[in-house]
């Protein structure tokens, strides 16, 4: 098998593994991963601006807003205009939201324990390094594609 074939197989496996991980996480923890990342950020940080949440959770602002609206409707979060800067909207967990997170944290810990079962500390370190390098390579490819698109005349 050539390096190109191995690379294609590896990236396809990465995508498949990610989809399975997302589904398993949702099934065990009880929250889809994007929503969980928002809940966890609010749990760890307290009150956060939507701008901060979008950056931390790596969500586009429109997706974040939809998630926050849904969680607000469930009574898990409250949102308010920032007292210092009225251009910002802050979100915070409600008492009910804090209970939702507290209930899910043990299931999340169990999920990760099961998911990483059988991997040594060294394997996890190497895997982390590989994923970090892949992320940087993907970002570089995205930037190159964006630059090529911007450089191309609008006569398409």
CA pair distance 29, 44, nearest whole angstrom? 17
Average pLDDT, the chain: 94
Report the candidate in 29, 5, 11, 46 with the shortest Cα–Cα distance to residue 103.
29
Bridge partners (DSSP) of residue 60 are none
**Contact assessment for residue 7 and residue 1, using Cβ atoms and an 8 Å cutoff:** no
**Can you tell me the distance from the alpha carbon of 39 to that of 33, in angstroms, rounded to the nearest whole number?**
10
Q: State the pLDDT confidence band at 152, using cuts at 50, 70 and 90.
A: confident
How far is the C-alpha of 50 from the C-alpha of 33, rounded, in Å?
A: 17
76 HSE (CA, 13 A, CB side): 20
Average pLDDT of the residues in 43-66 = 95
Share of the chain above pLDDT 70, in %: 97
């Amino acid at each position: 098998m050539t390096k190109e074939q191995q690379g294609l197989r590896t990236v396809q496996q990465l995508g498949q593994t990610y989809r399975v991980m997302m589904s398993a996480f949702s099934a065990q923890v009880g929250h889809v991963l994007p929503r969980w990342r928002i809940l966890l950020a609010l749990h760890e940080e307290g009150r956060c601006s939507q701008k901060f949440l979008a950056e931390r959770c790596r969500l586009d602002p429109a997706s974040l807003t939809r998630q926050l609206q849904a969680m607000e409707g469930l009574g898990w979060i409250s949102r308010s205009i920032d007292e210092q800067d009225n251009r910002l909207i802050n979100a915070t967990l409600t008492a009910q939201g804090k209970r939702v997170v507290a209930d899910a944290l043990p299931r999340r810990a169990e999920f990760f324990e099961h998911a990483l079962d059988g991997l040594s500390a060294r394997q996890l370190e190497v895997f982390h390094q590989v994923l970090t390098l892949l992320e940087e390579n993907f970002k570089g490819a995205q930037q190159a594609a964006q630059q090529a698109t911007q450089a191309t005349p609008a006569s398409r």
